[in-house]
Chains A and B, each alone.
Chain A
Amino acid sequence: MNYETLIENLIEKDDRYIIMTAENRATIRNLPEKIGNRFIDTGITEMTMIGMSAGLALQGRIPIAHALATFLTMRAFEFIRTDIGIGNLPVKLVGGVPGLLSEANGPTHQALEDISLMRGIPNIRIFCPADEDDMMICMEKILNSPSPYYIRYNNRKPFYSHSSHFEEGKAEIVSKGKDINILTYGILFSEALETTKLLERKGFDTGLINMRTLKPIDEDLIIKTLKKSKLTVILEDHFLVGGLFSIVAEIAIKHNIGSNVYPIAFEEKWFKPAMYKDILIYEKLTPLFLTNRILKEIEKYNGKQSNI
């Protein structure tokens, strides 16, 4: 099942759902003819779409609002914060081509601060699926949640068979490592998975965690991971500021945990616009590059005990 079919089924069985878009139809192209007036295209008007979604939610609807992640979370930021956040309305915000998925569009389209922005708003939750299967496994619960949600849309074809068990605030533990553990979410999950295999071959017991929801966050799992790993790698297609690295840092300080952490994110820069595979090479994010970067990092701690 793909996203569009899931939405179509949902619309049929539950009349609370309304599909909205600020003229971003790529993932919902066939819905207008199928769902009639429960599909609202407001045109290229992110603010109006969000305001309208609030007015619909006030009357008991659950609007699912689509736009490109940058324009949704940034052009309409204050509408999301003021109408959806303060109102705590169950609107679902679906951000298209987030992070690296904007590929060759350039920095105007690179949502690398979307998580930072959305998580700063009280009441709003965040879901970042690793691929299409992961998205499909979790999506119905997310769309059913009484909370507002920001969804980092990701329909990348899966290379991994995900756990079909999902709870908000619970990460998917792909594997546990005694030496290295990689925390990641979204599109880079597949690269992280390959990287764990390469690190295993180099003799490091390596684990991988797919965070799924960044808010609520699986705090217990992060605490355990920080305490037990010789090195925790945080891999994300987001700015270094405000994303998973920041979330983990906040948890570490809150619980007084000193630990070796290696963040891989974009520090004060946008990425080179290109097709996905070429970005990975240019930005040193292929499994081979990632493995070498992590090996270099862990050399610093060789022979030293993991500190708690």
Chain B
Amino acid sequence: MTTEKLTDLKNTSLKVREHIIKMATDGGCFIGASLSCTDILVYLYKCFLNIDKYNLNDPQRDFFFLSKGHDVPALYGTFVELGFIDESRLQNHLKTNDFIYWHPNTNIPGVEFHSGSLGHLLSVAMGTAYDCKLRLQNNLVIVLLGDGELNEGSIWESALVAASLKLDNLIAVIDRNKFQANLETEKLNKLEPLAGKFELFGWNTEKTDGHSFLDMEKVFSKLNQNSGKPTVIIADTIRGKGLPSIESRADRWFSNFTKEEIECLLDELKTKEITILKSETLMVR
């Protein structure tokens, strides 16, 4: 990866994080989960996926399904940077004049399918992956899962089926931020050893640092598309990444900050100077 490319990716991530923070007021958003998957989304859309604003209607392009739908501010922030939607639309967040609400929906160009109910889009992505195979296409279908989402039984049912159907054009990326809504994942339903679980289910497994573009490049570029197995990539991330004042905090999953806090947090993104937050915590819906 060239230095220019790396700088571009970092700049894009910074902008996406700014979009996310700006959505965390006037009703708020799931800021913690959004910041944890920001670098993954930026990497995938800018380096890996064959998806751009000109080929959205092409059935041979790649497909990206966001299964952990509550981190949609990261997706919309990325869409702004890709030119799928205009930045001004983000000001319609939670307003009735648009469709920018807490979970994704297909009224927004670039969203493949609505989500919000956890444990759905792995199977939906499998249906699309199966269709691509039927058409003898070489495109890829990527689905982003949350680690908390892995509590859902439907995920494991689908993991069993995807391996049996040999969907090697399917890649599940897990945003492994080690938190679910209120708790650390390992303090509720233990997920580890996570890679081992998928391996026993018949998947290829990879690990990456979900905040390092260089590491993601290393892992994603060596994927074998004809292995006969679906692939899971466990991306280690930090909930709230980029804002030290909320990083890895269980009580800052969902936040509705004051306007003053938003200004300070936008500064914190660059200076890393801790913001003193006074707004309500544990705003979990």
A65 CB → nearest B CB, Å: 11
Docked CA distance A213–B229 (Å): 43
Interface string of B118-137 (1 = CB under 8 A from A): 01111111111111111000
Q: Assess A47 versus B157: contact at CB under 8 Å? Given A59-B131, A86-B114, A87-B114.
A: yes
**With known contacts A48-B123, A52-B123, A40–B117 Cβ distance under 8 A:** no
Checking A59, A78, A87 against B117 with a beta-carbon cut-off of 8 angstroms, the contacting residue is A78
Q: Check if A56 sits within 8 Å of B130, measured CB to CB.
A: yes
From B129, B131, B154, A47 is in contact (CB under 8 Å) with B154
Q: Pick the contact of B164: A38, A43, A55, A57 (CB < 8 A).
A: A43
Least CB distance, A214 to chain B, in whole angstroms = 26
Proximity bits, B127-165, A CB within 8 Å = 1, else 0? 111111110000000000000000001100110110011
Known: A59-B59, A87-B114. A37 touches B125 (CB 8 A): no
User: In the bound complex, do residue B114 and residue A55 qualify as a contact, i.e. CB atoms below 8 Å apart?
Assistant: no
For the complex, is B45 an interface residue (Cβ under 8 Å from A)?
no
Cα(A78)–Cα(B116), bound, Å: 12
Contact (A55, B117) CB under 8 Å given A40-B165, A47-B157: no
Prevailing SS type, chain A contact patch: helix
Q: Which residues of B contact A42 (CB under 8 A)?
A: 161, 165
**Inter-subunit contact A54/B113 (CB<8 Å):** yes
**A120–B27 CA distance with the chains assembled, in angstroms:** 30
- Of the candidates B120, B122, B127, the one whose C-beta lies within 8 Å of that of A82 is B120
Contact with B124, one of A43, A55, A61 (Cβ below 8 angstroms): A55
Chain A CB within 10 A, most for which of B106, B123, B127, B128: B127
Alpha-carbon separation in the docked complex, A223 to B237 (Å): 61
B65's nearest neighbour on chain A, judged by CB, is A55
- List of B residues within 8 angstroms of A216 by Cβ: none
| Residue B268, interface by CB 8 Å | no
Q: Is A51's beta carbon under 8 Å from chain B? A: yes
Contact A52 B134 (CB under 8 A): no
B122 and A51: CB pair below 8 A?
A: yes
Q: CA A53 – CA B122 in complex, angstroms?
A: 12
Q: Which residues on the A side are within 8 Å of B129 (C-beta)?
A: 55
Give the one of B121, B123, B157 with max A CB within 10 A.
Answer: B123
The answer, among A37, A45, A58, for a CB contact under 8 Å with B134, is: A37
Q: Give the docked Cα–Cα distance between A300 and B129 (Å).
A: 62
A79 CB–B CB distance under 8 Å = yes
Given the interface pairs A43-B160, A58-B112, the reply to whether A48 lies near B126 with Cβ below 8 Å is yes
Chain A residue nearest to B59 in the complex (CB): A59
B124 & A54 in contact (Cβ 8 Å cutoff): yes
Contacts of A50 in B (CB 8 A): 123
Closest CB in chain A relative to B264 CB, distance in Å: 38
Q: Mark A72-88, 1 if CB is under 8 A from B, else 0.
A: 00000011001100110
Interface pair B161/A55, CB less than 8 Å apart: no
**Pair A56/B131 contact, Cβ less than 8 Å:** yes
B124 touches A83 (CB 8 A): yes
A54-B113, A58-B113, A78-B117 in contact; A47/B134 too (CB < 8 A)? no
24 A-B contacts (beta carbon < 8 Å): A37-B134, A42-B161, A43-B161, A47-B123, A47-B157, A48-B123, A48-B154, A48-B157, A51-B126, A52-B123, A52-B124, A54-B123, A54-B127, A55-B123, A55-B125, A55-B127, A55-B129, A56-B131, A58-B113, A59-B131, A61-B131, A79-B123, A82-B117, A83-B124
Q: Which residues of B contact A (CB under 8 A)?
A: 59, 106, 112-114, 117, 119-134, 153-154, 157-158, 160-161, 164-165
